[in-house]
Amino acid sequence: MKENHTIKNPLKKRSLQWRLTLLITLLVTVTCILMYFFISNSAVTGMENLESYIVQINKTDSTPITFNVDPSILFPDLSNQVQATKDLFRIRSMIATGIIILLSSIGTYFISRRALTPLHDLSTKIGKIQAQNLSESLEIPDSNDEISQLTASFNKMLSRLDDAFTAQKQFSASAAHELRTPLAVMQTNLEVFARKKTPSIEEYQEIFSLIQEQTGRLSHLAEILLDMTGIQTVERSETISLAELTEEVFCDLASVAEQKQIELIQRDGDCTVTGSYLLLYRAVYNLVENAIKYNHPSGKVTVTLHPGKVILDASSQPHPADCAFIEISDTGIGISPEYQEKIFAPFFRVDKSRSRAMGGAGLGLALVTEIARQHGGQVKVLESNEKGSTIALMLPL
């Protein structure tokens, strides 16, 4: 059995200050050594040329007279002096090089320490942040450098995390409340039923019917919660004809519409988008089902498909985009202006008693919103009044 040995970089265990110091020291050392050899060789070569040179005497209007002079004859100790000078030069150069490297290393250590102080302070402040104080932003330095940019980016991330934590807390609290309600109803009725000594057949049937209804609500709620948590992992690469998808939704909801005497109308037109057929089917299904539920008897639900341009908010950068519009219009009671954005929040109901009576969990439109977001689109109420509402699901083409 072979063992995998990974070669670890010893620098990674050091602090950033030490790493900068070591790297710059290495750079200075290499530079000083190269300069030492270059200057030393140049100086030594110049000294050696002193041992042999030519003296030329120029006389006016005459041929130049040249003498070859041997310096050792004129200066018997010149060779020894040159050698001693070369040796002394080399020693002094090496000492100067060592001093320069040492001073550069010490200077780099303290300068890098000073330069990294804002980063150290930022790290200390970040270490004090907990889930309870995500809303507290860090003070941005006035330096307008990389540290200030990093602090600003971190504050934006904190804001997004705070919003996500707040939404998660609200969602968890609402989910717990929705789960607790049917459990409390069953527990209360079972306690009352247990006190009866000789319950009748009708009372048995009544309690069984209530338990069946409440467990159905729990099952439906759990199913939607699982759907919402699994949306991110679904593959979204299919080519989808929205006309065919809408036709399938109408076929599946035909019996529901027939019970309420609602007419389903699909206008001519089609758009093709890329995404998950399963998720987009669920989104359109929820919108059409809501239009049927909250409609008047003998009303109509109309689906219109057409391309258009809309401002989409992708990664906090709104931009115009070509989109497929899926408009679901009904002839129902309408939605008040103050509720037209809130209806897409999890567990929100305009009329709680009516929604629960219809078996709603308050998550249908929230699921549509999440599906639209995962496809880079959005959903919104286009218009609503006492004659009905039009909700549009917009998906990038």
Domain assignment of residue 225, yes or no = no
* SS3 state of residue 84: helix
| CA-based R_g, the chain, Å | 41
For residue 50, pLDDT beyond 60: no
The structure tokens listed for 331 are 């002839």
For residue 361, pLDDT beyond 60: no
- Residue range 116-138: mean pLDDT, rounded: 72
**Higher confidence at residue 133 or residue 151?**
151
Backbone angles phi, psi at 297, to 5 degrees: -55, 140
- Residue range 138-158: mean pLDDT, rounded: 76
pLDDT of residue 86: 72
Domain assignment of residue 216, yes or no = no
pLDDT of residue 58: 55
Backbone angles phi, psi at 276, to 5 degrees: -100, 120
Domain assignment of residue 151, yes or no = no
Give Dmax over CA atoms of the chain in angstroms. Answer: 151
**Higher confidence at residue 226 or residue 100?**
100
For residue 344, pLDDT beyond 70: yes
The structure tokens listed for 295 are 């409609």
Domain assignment of residue 309, yes or no = yes
| Residue 245: band (very low, low, confident or very high) from pLDDT cuts 50, 70, 90 | very high
pLDDT of residue 52: 52
Backbone angles phi, psi at 386, to 5 degrees: -70, -10
For residue 2, pLDDT beyond 50: no
**Higher confidence at residue 254 or residue 226?**
254
Q: What is the pLDDT of residues 55-102, one digit of tens each?
A: 455 555 556 655 555 666 666 666 677 677 777 777 877 887 788 878
**Residue 127 C-beta-side C-alpha neighbours within 13 Å:** 6
The domain spanning residue 372 has which CATH number? 3.30.565.10
The percentage of the chain sitting over the pLDDT mark of 70, rounded to a whole number, equals 74
- Residue range 372-387: mean pLDDT, rounded: 87
The structure tokens listed for 245 are 């998808």
**Residue 296 C-beta-side C-alpha neighbours within 13 Å:** 10
The structure tokens listed for 36 are 């030492």
**Higher confidence at residue 327 or residue 71?**
327
**Higher confidence at residue 136 or residue 70?**
136
387, 362 contact by CB (below 8 A): no
For residue 184, pLDDT beyond 70: yes
332, 316 contact by CB (below 8 A): no
Same-domain pairing of 242 and 389:
yes
Comparing CA positions, the residue from 140, 141, 135 lying closest to residue 160 is 135
Domain assignment of residue 290, yes or no = yes
Same-domain pairing of 248 and 112:
no
pLDDT of residue 138: 73
270, 309 contact by CB (below 8 A): no
| Residue 54: band (very low, low, confident or very high) from pLDDT cuts 50, 70, 90 | very low
Determine the structural domain holding residue 345 and report its residue range: 236-396
CA 72/CA 57 separation, integer angstroms: 21
Same-domain pairing of 384 and 253:
yes
- Residue range 256-284: mean pLDDT, rounded: 89
The structure tokens listed for 302 are 């109309």
Q: How far apart are the first and last CA of the chain?
A: 54
For residue 163, pLDDT beyond 80: no
Last residue of a domain, one of 123, 139, 160: 123
- Residue range 153-167: mean pLDDT, rounded: 77
- Residue range 12-34: mean pLDDT, rounded: 74
- pTM for the predicted model, two decimal places: 0.57
Q: What is the pLDDT of residues 291-318, one digit of tens each?
A: 898 888 889 999 999 988 877 765 556 6
For residue 353, pLDDT beyond 70: no
pLDDT of residue 328: 92
Which 8-state DSSP code applies to residue 386? T
pLDDT of residue 244: 92
Same-domain pairing of 110 and 252:
no
Same-domain pairing of 256 and 107:
no
Among 8-17, 122-131, 271-280, 351-360, name the one with the lowest average pLDDT: 351-360
* CA angle at 134 for the pair 128 and 136, rounded to the nearest 5°: 80
Q: What is the bridge-based pairing of β-strands 317-330 and 388-396?
A: antiparallel
Domain count, the chain: 2
| Residue 202: band (very low, low, confident or very high) from pLDDT cuts 50, 70, 90 | confident
Hey, how many other C-beta atoms are within 10 angstroms of the C-beta on 22?
16
Distances (CA, A) of 247 to 130, 209, 270, 367, 396: 50, 35, 11, 21, 21
- Residue range 103-114: mean pLDDT, rounded: 78
CA 322/CA 309 separation, integer angstroms: 5
Comparing CA positions, the residue from 342, 364, 369, 348 lying closest to residue 223 is 364
pLDDT of residue 95: 82
CA 169/CA 29 separation, integer angstroms: 57
Same-domain pairing of 112 and 251:
no
- According to DSSP, the residues that pair with 306 across neighbouring strands are 325
Domain assignment of residue 246, yes or no = yes
**Higher confidence at residue 256 or residue 37?**
256
What average pLDDT does the structure give for the chain? 76
Comparing CA positions, the residue from 51, 50, 53, 55 lying closest to residue 66 is 55
Hey, how many other C-beta atoms are within 10 angstroms of the C-beta on 121?
15
Same-domain pairing of 246 and 392:
yes
Comparing CA positions, the residue from 339, 338, 331 lying closest to residue 389 is 331
Inter-helix orientation angle 146-195/201-229, to 10°: 170
For residue 49, pLDDT beyond 80: no
Domain assignment of residue 248, yes or no = yes
- According to DSSP, the residues that pair with 151 across neighbouring strands are none
CA 374/CA 377 separation, integer angstroms: 7
Domain assignment of residue 390, yes or no = yes
* CA angle at 362 for the pair 358 and 366, rounded to the nearest 5°: 135
E strand residue ranges, the chain: 53-57, 65-69, 238-241, 263-266, 272-275, 300-314, 317-330, 378-385, 388-396
